[in-house]
Amino acid sequence: MKKRWIVRRRKHWITSVIIWGMLVLLFTLGVSGWALEKEFDRETQEKMEKTLDKAMEESRSPAAIVGVWAPGEGTWVVAKGKADIETGQSAQIKDKTRIGSITKTFVATAVLQLVDEGKIGLDETANKYLSFMPTGSKVTVRQLLNHSSGIFDAENDDPVFRKAVEENLSKRLSPQEIVEVSLAHKPYNQPGKGAHYSNTNYKLLGMIVEEVTGKDLGVVIEEKIIDRLGLRHTVFATQPDIRGDHLHGYAVLESTTIDATTDPAIWLLGASGNMVSNLQDQKKWARALGRGVLLGKKTYKEMMSWIEIAAALPGKFEYGLGVDKVGDRFIGHAGATTGYYGRIAYDPGTDTTIVLFFNQLGAKEDVEVYESFLQELIDIIH
């Protein structure tokens, strides 16, 4: 009897040692959850790799971090190039990056959650919540969300304002002060009679969230979205630096390359584009956003109501309430800020997720390269 007990104990000990050894090996090799998933076949991976190399060459981006997850088809996750061209540090899959206007998807979700709670009305006018808005303004919350308000975007379309900001980056303006500069301009269109992408819309939405909840926007996003989804590497940035391992952002200009990593004007972005995240978190977020995980059925349906809007690039694209459409199937958002470009895209029909980050943005042509790369990835996997 004692001998059997010793044998059983020895077997248990050996099994434990093997399991522990495997866990240590996985940790040592840095194997993540998605590294254990089925990969695309070699031919598909080679096509993706070739397409990525072309995008990096055309944009002169020092690095790229890309993830494609297509259940039943395969997974492709890659980090290429240099996160920091001065030190030669290579890009890593876990690196954080600025996500620019992908921030708008978080703000829109927070607004729609408050709609679910009966605290905000989609078709109520913005001046119901913000007393400084003109009394006769007919701009609604819905029109802010889908950019049909017509409100001017001083941040991007007023060169005098941009120059004043760049010459005195330490002078912080409040969201209201930035909005008031925009309101002084002629609108792009009458409310609901056209649509033009404007960062001012989301600065107003951020202020409405704060007015309704009595909390800072970053706190609301953290409580309602980040914590609930376990996005451990995502922050609503209020400081100019990025903490932890991250991509440096560059603007490659005709005669020089600017390191735009530290953004002293982070206050200017605010609700329209100041968040920081990484590939792992944006994979989770793209899927949760695309499936409406944090919204009621009615508000999710409202989010997916599409209109055509104009933006800085030629042509128009389809936009919902804080999300855009890529082709006929993918839902997501792009994020562009000096030195950085990000994109999330999710297909609810196939449960396919695509996330991509580049660390060079100095011209509108770079955006066209990155969006073309996204479309080429979609064509490859479908």
* DSSP, residue by residue, 83-103: EETTTTEEP-TT-EEEEETTH
pLDDT category at 276 given cuts 50, 70, 90 is: very high
With tokens 């404007």, the residue in question is: 198
Three-state DSSP state, 69: strand
pLDDT digits (tens, 9 = 90+) for 185-205: 999 999 999 999 999 999 999
84 - beta bridge partners? 89
Tell which residue, 218, 181, 208, 335, has the closest CA to residue 173. 181
Three-state DSSP state, 199: helix
Q: What is the pTM of this model?
A: 0.91
Q: What percent of the chain has pLDDT over 90?
A: 82
Residue 341 CA: distances (Å) to CA of 65, 102, 294, 362: 11, 10, 26, 10
Q: Give yes or no for a contact between 292 and 189, defined as CB atoms under 8 angstroms apart.
A: no
pLDDT digits (tens, 9 = 90+) for 230-241: 999 999 999 999
Biggest CA-to-CA distance, the chain: 92
Within 13 Å of residue 314, how many CA atoms lie on the same side as its CB? 2
Three-state DSSP state, 224: helix
Q: Which tokens go with 262?
A: 């530290």
Tell which residue, 278, 249, 235, has the closest CA to residue 358. 249
341 - beta bridge partners? 336, 358
Q: Which of 16-20, 64-68, 138-142, 272-276 has the lowest mean pLDDT?
A: 16-20
The reported pLDDT for the residue numbered 6 is 44
Alpha-carbon gap, residue 113 to 102, rounded angstroms: 17
pLDDT category at 98 given cuts 50, 70, 90 is: very high
- CB within 8 Å of 251: residues ≥ 6 apart: 257, 258, 260, 338, 339, 360, 361, 362
The reported pLDDT for the residue numbered 316 is 81
Q: What domains are there in the chain, each with its CATH number?
A: 42-381 (3.40.710.10)
343 - beta bridge partners? 334, 356
The reported pLDDT for the residue numbered 264 is 82
Predicted confidence (pLDDT) at residue 105 exceeds the cutoff of 70: yes
User: Contacts by 131-136 with C-beta closer than 8 Å and gap 24+?
Assistant: 132/176, 132/180, 133/183, 133/204, 134/183
Q: What is the mean pLDDT of the chain?
A: 91
pLDDT category at 312 given cuts 50, 70, 90 is: low
pLDDT category at 228 given cuts 50, 70, 90 is: very high
User: Looking at residue 186, what DSSP letter applies?
Assistant: P
336 alpha-carbon distance from chain centroid: 9
Segment 296-312 shows an average pLDDT of 94
Q: What percent of the chain has pLDDT over 70?
A: 90
Predicted confidence (pLDDT) at residue 24 exceeds the cutoff of 50: no
Alpha-carbon gap, residue 159 to 197, rounded angstroms: 17
236 - beta bridge partners? 275
203 alpha-carbon distance from chain centroid: 16
pLDDT category at 35 given cuts 50, 70, 90 is: low
pLDDT digits (tens, 9 = 90+) for 328-369: 999 999 999 999 999 999 999 999 999 999 999 999 999 999
The reported pLDDT for the residue numbered 382 is 82
Count of helices and strands (H, E) across the chain: 14, 14
Predicted confidence (pLDDT) at residue 25 exceeds the cutoff of 60: no
Predicted confidence (pLDDT) at residue 128 exceeds the cutoff of 80: yes
Segment 98-109 shows an average pLDDT of 98
Segment 146-171 shows an average pLDDT of 93
The neighbour count for residue 57, using CB atoms within 10 Å, is 10
